[in-house]
Structure 1
Amino acid sequence: MLIAAGPALAAPSPPDTAQVRALLHQAQNLLRAGQHEAAQPLLQQAQGLAHRLHFAPGEIESLRVLGKAQLVHGSFAEARAYLAQGVALARRTPGQPHLADVLLTLGQVANEQDDYPGALRACEEALRLYHAQGALRDEARTRNGLGIIYSSRGDFPRALAMLLPALRLTQQLQDSALQANCLTNLGAVYFRHNQYREAQQYFRQALPLVRRGPDLGALADCLTNLAAAHQQLGELAPAETFYKEAIKVSEQAGERAQLGVVLSDYAQLQTEQKRLPAAQATLERARALLENSGDNGTLAATLVALGQLHQKLGHAAEAEAQARRALALAAPIQDWSVMETAGQLLASLLKQRGDYRQALTYAELAHAAHDTLFTQSKAEEMGRLQGDFQLSQERARAQALARTGEAQQQRLQAQQRQLWGLGLGLAVVAAAGLALWRLNRLLGHKNRQIELQRAELTELNATKDRLFSIIGHDLRGPLHSLHAFVELLDGPPLPPAKLSQYTQRLTRTLDNTLALLENLLNWAALQMRASAPIRPENLNLASLVEENIGLLSPAAEAADVTLTNRLMGEVHAWADPAAVRLVLRNLLSNAIKFTPAGGTVSVSATHENGLWQLAVADTGRGLPAPTTLQPLRPEALERRTGEAGQARSTGLGLLLSRDMATRTGGQLWVASAGPGQGTTFTLHLPAAEQPAAYARLEG
């Protein structure tokens, strides 16, 4: 039943409370029938009535079912809002009714939103609650769900650590449906990690359990999994047998989308067997079934496979059409794997046709998608490593504290025995109290050290992730462009005009890459010299500004941007010249990059409260929203593409500038009137005395 888990719901209820339960029961029946729109007002009515009656268990359950309905409907933000409200109410209510159920649903929503940490926190707390309650079926269900979450993130050991105990619980409970689901998920974990023989064994154990059940869709999935495992092991004859049975079961179930998925997988087997016309017919049928299913990811993958097949059959025009459509479907949902394959296919087809410019564009798109997949896989791997490291640190800390406590306990026992022999009971109590106080102080000191080390580790890890992302994407991208350009040169000779155009484009890309590399080196040097003393001196800002404007004038002229130095008279700051020079160069370079042709970039300075405020103002595109003068936070600014096709900003220059400004005793500020209104970056530096005063000091 809906809300029979809590003792408050099992007790006799007044009429209004029974009405809440009746509304919930009616709404859930509608949800099972797929009538979400009809269930919604009933659930809201149940929640409102339970709230007025102060019937907390009924309100919590209403919020949970509302969140579940929004999850099924795909409205994740609304689902999360309902469930967060339910969790908060359950925590405030004595006995915390339905808290585990709400947390489990919240974990499902977080996983759908790719909020991996949030999903794990919610599901792990639900697991602890179910275990404490002795709710074995719910514990098995939660462990099964956690195994799926870990598996979807590629965390093989933790997925097995959840799924194997879940399987033992389902066997103990003799729950064949949940047992079959656990076996299927275990097979999927092994399949994902290329251990196909182990995957095949779990799929085979699940098959008789699924055959006994009424769910034809689950049976079709199990048969398809078995077929795929046989296919990966090179056992093509049994693979085809299972594929054909899966197709027959899917047809009986009337599930068009599922049938399309099975046919798409079966076509891969036919392609491996060199039965290309049969594979084409199977893929065409799969495409027709998936057209209106709403599963654009599977449809895009099917279209790419169809395009590759047409290329093998020599149908270039049809192959290009399928690849373009696959790319159009994959781009909005950011299916990078399909985007990479479709880009490669289009680049190959266009190169054969002699359209080298478009071929280069799609080759770069395929490389960019590959880089994104690479970065995502490395980020997931780094996340798992970081989680393992933190877990090992926590275990080590717990073991160290346990050893310290045990040793202290042994010393206290020895002291007690000695003092007991002397009959000094009062002294024993005093010594024990003093020892515990010292132990408490020691543990507090150790905890503070661990927290400091964790904060330092988090900061270093964030810096490492940023540098890894920049090196893995922004530096690899230009190199891929160079590689694609060299591939074009390896083909038929290019016309001089196209060769000149590609050369200019490549030169601009490499210039931007050199600037990025210089910032990376400066950033690394800053991190290594973080504890080194700064070297401030009496610095003439007017001369420094003139020097940097002269240095960047060629870039400004090429972009048709006017540079203006508005510093007047003696402008002296007390700062490190190298740091200020680097900050000013980055600010001017950014201003030129984001200012359209015909615009201006000006440098001015004002003196206020013992500070020089050195401002770099441009007439460029401005920030996305009006921003009053505030300290610069580079991580909060979006990365944008520059004017006239210049490379997208990495954000590293502003991050480096802010840190350099801080090290030399200054601060960076930013302000903008909004889109199209330009941006002003202001560097605050301590003012220096006039040169004559320093001359007297030196004399």
Structure 2
Amino acid sequence: MAGLLAAGPAAPADTAQVRALLHQAQGLLRAGRNEAAHPLLVQAHALAHGLHFAPGEIESLRVLGKAELVHGSFAEARAYLNQGVDLARRTPGQGHALANVLLTLGQVANEQDDYPGALRACEEALRLYHAHGALRDEARTRNGLGIIYSSRGDFPRALAMLLPALRQSQQLQDSALQANCLSNLGAVYFRHNEFRKAQQYFEQALPLVRRSPETSTLADCLTNVAASHQQLGELTEAETFYKEAIAVSEQAGERAQLGVVLSDYAQLQTEQKRLPAAQATLERARALLENSGDTGTLAATLVALGQLHQKLGHPAEAEAQARRALALATSIRDWSVLETAGQLLAGLLKQRGDYRQALTFAEQAYAAHDTLFTQSKAEEMGRLQGDFQLSQERARAQALARTGEAQQQRLQAQQRQLWGLGLGFAVVAAAGLALWRLNRLLGHKNQQIERQSAELTKLNATKDRLFSIIGHDLRGPLHSLHAFVELLDGPPLPPARLSQYTQRLTRTLDHTLALLENLLNWAALQMRASAPPRPENLALAGLVEENIGLLTAAADAAQVALTHHLTGDERAWADPAAVRLVLRNLLANAIKFTPAGGTVSISATQEAGCWQLAVADNGRGLPTPTPHQPLRPDALERRAGEAGQARSTGLGLLLSRDMATRTGGQLWVASAGPGQGTTFTLRLPVAEQPAAYARLDG
């Protein structure tokens, strides 16, 4: 970047103006004056574009993206940076500038929790820096990749990036980058609960940071050292470093930084049973964080303050702080604070006798816990898939190396045996044939590896769905049952409230039983994926009447009418078990999303050698008008049913789609939009007449 902004000896005046605008804007950004920097950057971009000055335009787009990132406007940041990437790719000789833009794009993607996007951008930037011999930028990028891997819990890859970055920073004698790498290594070990190693890296970074003019960096490092001492039970040493971090932040006037340090220090005071002092520290931290924009730390501080008030016997104040923390955590989807605040409110309201609200907050806490569980499992599966792909790449490289070495040895042996030109030509021809055969063999092996990788990706997607269903949709109702039983263990409930809770619990368990049945059917379908279906000449009217009989009670309870218009002549060539399961799911789904007084009807028409078995309702309809098209369950929004029925998991439609496909049919969907109802159509091949089958059987 410095090379880009350095003025050339013969730079035209207008090009120099672009550079000057960029230099001035970056100075304002470093001083935290984003509002003043933005118009200068826009002016620099417009001027560079008009002059066709690609380096200046690329850099102005990069800095605009960086400014939007600092401001928290991620969509605008990505728009600027994507323009910069496109321009840099089109402009020859801009590899280093492209790497700069990609690195900033990776930072934006990481802030948006776009883990794959962040890795793609930063890894390409790393390759470009390495190719251009930009050692400092390469070390900086490795450091950034280490942070990304660490934030996702991928500790081996984080260390694999940060340790080389540390060695490069030492080679460059860049104390600021070296301190940053040491701090990040300490953070990796801290997250991995190896607090002694974390402390060693933090304390190595501290002398380097003390020489830096950046007071916020020093406060961070002191806080890290204090936290590692605290985790090791060395509370006196921890307090010493916390107090120094507070003094540094106060001296620098860093209100937000001071709020973060005070919030951490209050945890130590609470651990030391100094509750009044911890309350005063948290109150001060809350006041400093109110207008800092750090909503996550403010929410965590509020819930910690609520827990402290509960310990001090101030339930009203504890509830007020917990409710505010819950609202803030909901706005930023901070599941950890949502879980803690929900648990705190459930306990406080249960003590107060408000069991209905207690149950609501307990369910919110359980839902947040399940979301955290699902996210951790998804990240774990992603790491496993990455490990598998990495091992496959290594195995492929090793195989190619072994093959190359063996081929080289054979060629050398053949060359030693050459005694004439004719024999030499023969050897060359044989070697060419061997290479051709080897290339074919390697091609087949590569195809096999790609097929295995695709199968693993599909298997991981299946496992992710199972984790999501089991970890959230199946465990959630059981948590509700647990919370309901806890309420029964308290003072006797009024009969009206007991009846209300019982009805709610009955609906929840009905939904759970249906989900469990679909889950077992789907698992069985996956295990029998290679077994052929068992189609037969099937009377559709009989199956329709059978399923209507099974679901009449549910329809009556929902005040929904079930009708069909089949004549009895409709015969399809399909697997009866598959059609029965698809019909049952479609009817149950229609009843669930049709309000009281509505109608669900089944009809059949013949078209192009197929029966079109349609299940239509006049209920809620889909959120957007949807023309008649093949069903894609993952594209449909998961919604709660009528009359407080549980939110759909999408598993029933996925199972129905798979079952329909296995029996030779298709599942289609159509809706005119909200309030206009939905129609699901099962297409099945027409069967021959029963008499024809009787002759064949005979």
The TM-score with structure 2 as length reference comes to: 0.97
Q: 2:400 and 2:497 mapped to 1: Cα distance?
A: 70
* Aligned equivalent of 2:37, options 34, 39, 43: 39
Shift of 1:58: 2.1
Aligned to 1:57: 55
Q: 1:71 and 1:574 mapped to 2: Cα distance?
A: 59
Which piece of structure 1 moves more, 175-184 or 24-33?
24-33
Contact 1:3-1:61 at 8 Å conserved across structures: no
Is 1:417 paired with 2:446? no
Contact 2:542-2:568 at 8 Å conserved across structures: no
Aligned to 1:508: 507
* Aligned equivalent of 1:28, options 26, 29, 38: 26
Secondary structure of the residue that 1:629 maps to in structure 2? strand
Q: What amino acid is the match of 2:66?
A: K
Q: 2:316 and 2:38 mapped to 1: Cα distance?
A: 49
Q: 1:233 and 1:254 mapped to 2: Cα distance?
A: 31
Aligned to 2:549: 550
Aligned to 1:104: 103
1:214-363 superposed matches below 5 A: 214-363=213-362
Contact 2:5-2:23 at 8 Å conserved across structures: no
Q: What amino acid is the match of 2:633?
A: P
Q: What amino acid is the match of 2:523?
A: A
Q: What amino acid is the match of 2:18?
A: V
Q: 1:89 and 1:158 mapped to 2: Cα distance?
A: 31
Q: 2:536 and 2:568 mapped to 1: Cα distance?
A: 19
Aligned to 1:78: 76
Shift of 1:694: 2.7
1:432-447 superposed matches below 5 A: 432-447=431-446
Contact 2:540-2:568 at 8 Å conserved across structures: no
Q: 1:494 and 1:13 mapped to 2: Cα distance?
A: 83
**Residues 411 and 304 of structure 1: CA distance in aligned 2, closer, same or farther (over 3 Å):** same
Q: What amino acid is the match of 1:667?
A: Q
Could you list the per-position Cα deviations for residues 123-145 of structure 1 after superposition, in whole angstroms to 9, with x for gaps in the alignment? 11211222222222212211111
Shift of 1:5: 7.5
Aligned to 2:4: 4
**Residues 137 and 2 of structure 1: CA distance in aligned 2, closer, same or farther (over 3 Å):** closer
Which piece of structure 1 moves more, 11-20 or 608-617?
11-20
**Residues 174 and 185 of structure 1: CA distance in aligned 2, closer, same or farther (over 3 Å):** same
Aligned to 1:88: 86
Contact 2:609-2:686 at 8 Å conserved across structures: yes
Q: 2:499 and 2:389 mapped to 1: Cα distance?
A: 53
Q: 2:39 and 2:247 mapped to 1: Cα distance?
A: 40
Contact 1:562-1:601 at 8 Å conserved across structures: yes
Q: What amino acid is the match of 2:625?
A: P
Is 1:614 paired with 2:588? no
Is 1:674 paired with 2:673? yes
Could you list the per-position Cα deviations for residues 21-46 of structure 1 after superposition, in whole angstroms to 9, with x for gaps in the alignment? 23322332333343434433433333
Contact 2:4-2:55 at 8 Å conserved across structures: no
Pairwise CA RMSD: 1.8
Shift of 1:685: 0.8
Secondary structure of the residue that 2:153 maps to in structure 1? coil
Q: 1:96 and 1:425 mapped to 2: Cα distance?
A: 48
Q: What amino acid is the match of 2:230?
A: Q
What number of residue pairs does the alignment pair up?
A: 697
Shift of 1:104: 0.8
Q: 2:28 and 2:247 mapped to 1: Cα distance?
A: 30
Aligned to 1:450: 449
Q: Which stretches in structure 1 are left out of the alignment for 5+ residues?
A: none
Shift of 1:422: 7.4
Q: 1:20 and 1:231 mapped to 2: Cα distance?
A: 51
Contact 2:377-2:467 at 8 Å conserved across structures: no
Contact 1:155-1:384 at 8 Å conserved across structures: yes
Which piece of structure 1 moves more, 626-635 or 75-84?
75-84
Contact 2:672-2:678 at 8 Å conserved across structures: yes
Secondary structure of the residue that 1:4 maps to in structure 2? helix
Which piece of structure 1 moves more, 311-320 or 23-32?
23-32
Could you list the per-position Cα deviations for residues 525-548 of structure 1 after superposition, in whole angstroms to 9, with x for gaps in the alignment? 111111212211111111111111
Q: 2:98 and 2:41 mapped to 1: Cα distance?
A: 18
Aligned to 1:149: 148
Shift of 1:10: 4.3
Q: What amino acid is the match of 2:26?
A: Q
Contact 1:2-1:24 at 8 Å conserved across structures: no
The TM-score with structure 1 as length reference comes to: 0.96
Is 1:479 paired with 2:459? no
Shift of 1:177: 1.6
Q: 2:77 and 2:343 mapped to 1: Cα distance?
A: 39
Shift of 1:419: 4.2
Contact 1:419-1:427 at 8 Å conserved across structures: no
Which piece of structure 1 moves more, 624-633 or 347-356?
347-356
Q: 2:9 and 2:432 mapped to 1: Cα distance?
A: 49
Aligned to 1:564: 563
Q: Which stretches in structure 2 are left out of the alignment for 5+ residues?
A: none
